[in-house]
Structure 1
Amino acid sequence: MMKQAIFLLWLGAALPAAAPVWAQEQSETRVWVQIEARPTEAEADERARAYAEVFPDVAGYRLSSGWYAIVLGPYGTDVARLRLQDLLEAGMIPRDSFIADGRAFREPFLAPGELPPAPDAEALAVPGPEMLPEDEPLDAPPALEAAPAPLPDETPAEARRSEALLIASERQELQAALQWFGFYGAAIDGAFGPGTRASMAAWQAAEGAEATGILTARQRAELLDRYGRAQAELGLETVTEDEAGIRITLPIALVAFDRYDPPFVHYAPKDGSGVQVMLISEPGDRGALYGLYDILQTLEVVPPEGTRSRTETGFTIEGRSADLASYTHVELAGGLLKGYMLVWHPGDDERMARVLTAMQSSFRPFGDRALDPGMVEMTEEQRRGMLAGLEVRKPRQSRSGIFVDPKGAVLTTAEAVAGCGRVTIDREHEAKVVATDTALGMALLRPVHPMAPRVTASFRSTEARLGSPVAVAGYPYGEALPAPTLTFGALDALTGLEGEADLRRLRLASRPGDAGGPVLDGSGAVLGMLVAPETGERRLPDEVSFALAPAALTARLSEAGIEPRRAEGSGALAPEDLVRLGDGMTALVSCWD
């Protein structure tokens, strides 16, 4: 059977060369498949005669470099490319074989007519049982000659000559492969300029080879082989989404089309890959772009940690947590917002870096249409709780706070930040807890990046009159409302129910979200910070609330290095001015797991 297989390989290899060279078009360029080069004529002659036992069209030429080339051919250019591909895929020639144009050939040292004839079919036929020696088992294959040892690679000059034969698409594929493995970041244009040469040298250095910046045929084959296998593993394929007006390369082996939920086209994980893709497409202007930028950061699939960047024509959001990573890119052009989001598990970073490279380089918005927001019906409840089928990330709890310095430091209750994985101010500003007083139940926060609050609290330095009107500014419903609200009441007592000097009792109905908010007198001065409602067996009337006295608050601020502002005016403000002050000095404090 082995001899029969060898015969079939020889026959298949011979077919592309069945037409004699003289029968080709006279105007067609003649090229060869160079399969080896040896430093001496004797070595090259020996190897050429070995190859001639399988191939009928082997020839040998001395090269201008002084080496001796073993070649197959000549062929027309298209036939040569097919022959090279077929023989490489069959494993019948070395992987560094390439197409040579013959310009480096000098005199032949062995012409096709001088080589021994190829074996005929009768000689290679499988022997019948009567032909086998009596002592040879029927299933024993004949011994095969060992495969040739690894071959010497091209010199830089030879590599440049073989490279010159590459057509534009082959050059572009090499650039794409270099880009895929992170060595090339410029345009895929097929031009081997300084940037491409530098990336080739970097790839060679990473492979432990001499960094010449000119890939040899062997190196090109190895690079493209790895690139092809990596692409096949991910199933990278160009997808044209006509409804969204987006063309992009996606990892089809990892994701599959799921549904339309404007402004998203959802591609769900395939076979438990853990990878998601969303194409983004909707009409809009700069205001819609900025709004989308804010909204996307509230989604569960966009972790809060990571780099963000936004311009007037687009934005990029990178999100990362221990369990989730995502990359979002959106562009504004011609009244349309279009982009994409890739979501994966951080353990798959290496593969996803390559997928992301392919998506970034292939993303092409086209046409003048975007997803129609009315193409999928959604109930009002779905729209409130979900964004186009995506779960909105929500904090564990939200409370109120008071801006106490021009850089955005916030005073709030200790309960508001207890046990939080992270804390934010006004939804998007990361903050750190810098001081707590568990006895009084208060905490001081500082934003990671300085903020500029519209109003900084001014604290009352004298006691207010019992029965005087007060107002609490806060977020009674947490994240549900975009701005704080004022709840009005009166000052009922200058101590707590058990005589606590640091507490003030209010006749005012509050909710848990109001806790930490400023209690204002009629002039807008802060006469306390609302504390959290009591929990436990004792149940107080709904209109009974408590606030920490201003003296306790200012003392703790001074200890933390913040000089509290003292209220100066005493006249009553108009209701709209009081609302403006309360709105400007009240912060939304959110606690996240």
Structure 2
Amino acid sequence: MPKYLSLFTLLFWSLFASLASAQDRAWVQIEARPTLAQAEERARAYAGAFSDVAGFRMASGWYAIALGPYDPDTALSRLAQLRRDNLIPADSFVANGEQYRGGFWPLGQDPMSAPLNGAALPPPVVTAPLATAPQPFVEPVETLQQARRSEQALSPEARRDLQSALKWFGFYEASIDGAFGRGTRASMAAWQAANGHEPTGVMTTKQRAQIITERDLVVAELGLQTITEEEAGIEISLPIALVEFDHYEPPFVHFAEKDGSGVRVVLISEPGDGAALRGLYDILQTLEVVPQNGARSLNDRGFTIDGRDGTIASRSVVQLSGGLIKGYMLIWKPEAEDKARNALKAMDASFKTIGGRALDPGLVSLDDAQRRNLLAGMEVRRPKISRSGFFVSATGDVITTTETLQSCARITLDRNIEATITAQDDSSGLAVLTPVKPLAPRFIAEFADSPRIGTEVALAGYSYEDALPAPTLTFGALEDTKGLAGEAGIARLSLSSLPGDAGGPVMNGKGAVLGMLIPATATDGRVLPGEVSFVADVTSIKAILNRAGVAPVQQATRAAPLPPSDLTERAMSMTVLVSCWE
């Protein structure tokens, strides 16, 4: 035994020869912990056995527990002795303190300036002659057989922890059961390949330590904690180092960003069915924190929405089960991308519903406007301008006013249907839009011929732009078949309209379209009475439709006016909200 001990000591002497010559003090580092509370607990425990325990905050953000300080020679001897007697962990080592930033143990003292402990020991006696000069110590690499043996010695808890780490980094998807079957082996091999190791499917002791340490570093950085939100009936791991609880606002639980982290979390909890789920899916996409660029997925059981632009990104995950809608949103700025990616892994893996309850709408006091809009406190994305339009083909082509289309990054029909410009005539103020995906409108425009002055008309339009969910009807009469100065192609109405009505269809009592309302414009400084409006007539509309390749539909023969309810239904179904987005 002395022979082997001496040889072991000599190897460590060779390894740290440069340390001894370059440094005047050293420590035996025995542990490192991710949090100060954990490190203080361990330091206190070691202090019961050793009188020279020191604790330091490290450059990595972890906290080291060490013994010392010693001169380098004494540190080597101390390490060998304590390891031989199994008094410290087998992976303890001599540290020169370069990674130590500040002391936390002993409490109220600075261990960095403490006096040296002990004296230098004489060089070790070599009982076996060495034919060549000693070589630097190289940690032996476990063979596959040795790796299997070390793996077999793992406790059930350690086996489950390894699966959790593999799952954390996205290599494992099955249950955490501690059983290393084919799925676990495949995930181990995938991790090994991704980290430059031979993909044997059996991780060595060093590889297991590597993945656990990397996972623990990320967990410590994010401050991940399992949060049980009793009011919302949700359990989830949240990055508490980045966010903190802010307030309830049913159906949302808000966690605001902490210390300028650039990360926010919103939990979602409300009772509902499939219709409510689809409604929430549409509503969330109107929020400023849900950019339009990104993947979307919706089915009967839930949805996911990924949004990203140059200033913000978010992921929304929502589930429907047992009449309850539960989910979460993670929102982050570009500079927090890495932290957000790691937080999402934990949130995706840990999210579950508990307690069979949803957030009580009466938990906080909301006024009527807030109750009508469940997005109180969350800024809704609004278009730059919205006007009206109406269907002119069986596949969903829409005619509208060019006023809507100035400097638009995107154009939508009825809030979320993407559309493109097919034809545009600035002189008449008319444009034709085509939806990106074909639609099947219930009613399309049927055009009237030769309208008579004095005909009663109804205008359908989004008078208040996107503030209301449906168009309104305004009634008036046809005053003239030309403009005030005799202009052809337009007609004059006695009808009060609002800016949002522009682009809407003007119909007679039989449901036939007489023209499209165009924006009111004042000329030569004259301000027209409020009840004067103008429409682009059928001739102008047919001209732009021909340019767009859309065949206009003629009026079906009707002997009598439509009942008011039928006229209203036709007008409402035909009219479209046209929005321009920056």
> TM-score scaled to structure 1, two decimals?
0.76
User: Which of 256, 264, 267 is the aligned partner of 1:276?
Assistant: 264
SS of the aligned residue for 1:588 comes to strand
Are residues 146 and 5 of structure 1, via their aligned partners in 2, closer, same or farther at CA, if it must alter by over 3 Å? farther
C-alpha distance after superposition, 1:449-497 (max 9, x if no partner): 222211111222x211111111111111112222212211111111112
- Against the structure 1 CA distance between its residues 7 and 272, is the aligned structure 2 distance closer, same or farther, given a 3 Å change threshold? closer
Partner residue in 1 for 2:191: 203
**Letter aligned with residue 485 of structure 2:** E
TM alignment of 1:50-199, pairs within 5 A: 54-56=79-81, 83-84=89-90, 87-88=91-92, 125-126=118-119, 148-199=136-187
Deviations 1:280-310 (A, max 9, x none): 1222333332332232222222223322222
Change beyond 3 A, Cα 1:125–1:305 = closer
After superposition, the Cα gap between the structure-2 partners of 1:189 and 1:452, relative to the gap in structure 1 and judged at 3 Å, is: farther
How far, CA to CA, are the matches of 1:481 and 1:146 in structure 2?
Answer: 84
Structure 2 CA distance for aligned equivalents of residues 89 and 257 of structure 1: 41
The CA distance in 1 between the partners of 2:558 and 2:473, in whole Å, is 20
Output the CA distance in 1 between the equivalents of 2:261 and 2:516.
50
Identity of aligned residues (%): 52
Find the aligned partners of 2:94 and 2:412 in 1 and give their Cα distance. 61
RMSD: 3.1
Is 1:586 the counterpart of 2:575 in the alignment?
Answer: yes
Q: Which of 440, 443, 455 is the equivalent residue of 1:452?
A: 440
Aligned runs of 1:4-23 on 2, under 5 Å?
none
SS in 1 for 2:389: strand
Report how far residue 276 of structure 1 moved: 0.6
Distance in 2, Cα, partners of 1:171 & 1:446 = 58
Residue in structure 1 matched with residue 100 of structure 2 by the alignment? none
Task: Write out aligned runs for 1:21-420 (5 A).
Answer: 54-56=79-81, 83-84=89-90, 87-88=91-92, 125-126=118-119, 148-383=136-371, 387-420=375-408
Aligned length: 488
1:515 pairs, out of 496, 499, 502, with: 502
Structure 2 distance, partners of 1:400, 1:482, is 13
Map of 1:110 onto structure 2: none
Q: Deviations over 1:347-371 (max 9, x none)?
A: 4333322211110110111112222
Runs of 5+ consecutive residues of structure 2 not aligned to the other structure: 1-19, 31-42, 50-74, 97-116, 121-132
Tell me what 1:549 maps to: 537
1:480 aligns with 2:505: no
Corresponding residue number in structure 2 for 1:499: 486
1:261, distance to aligned residue in structure 2 (A) = 1.1
Structure 1 unpaired stretches of 5+: 19-49, 59-71, 93-123, 128-144
Q: Is the 8 A contact 1:264 1:388 kept in 2?
A: no
Change beyond 3 A, Cα 1:90–1:379? farther
| Partner Cα distance (1:260, 1:233) in 2 | 26
How far off is 1:518 after superposition? 0.7
Deviation at 1:51, TM superposition (A): 8.2
Deviations 1:202-229 (A, max 9, x none): 2222222222222111111112111111
Deviations 1:51-108 (A, max 9, x none): 88743487xxxxxxxxxxxxx67x8xxx9xx834xx448769xxxxxxxxxxxxxxxx
Q: Displacement, 1:165?
A: 1.6
Aligned residue number for residue 139 of structure 1: none
The 8 Å contact of residues 523 and 569 in structure 1, kept in 2 or not, is answered as no
Q: Quick one: distance in 2 between partners of 1:236 and 1:154?
A: 33
Q: Separation in 2 of the partners of 1:4 and 1:322?
A: 50
Instruction: Name the amino acid aligned to 2:471.
Output: P
Shift of 1:271: 1.1
> Which residue number in structure 2 is paired with residue 43 of structure 1?
none
Contact 1:4 1:125 in 2 (8 A): no
**Which of 452, 468, 473 lines up with 1:465 in the alignment?**
452
- TM-score, with length taken from structure 2: 0.77
SS of 1:188 mapped into structure 2: coil
Q: Which SS does the other structure have where 1:176 is aligned?
A: helix
| In structure 1, C-alpha distance between the alignment counterparts of 2:459 and 2:519, rounded to whole Å | 13
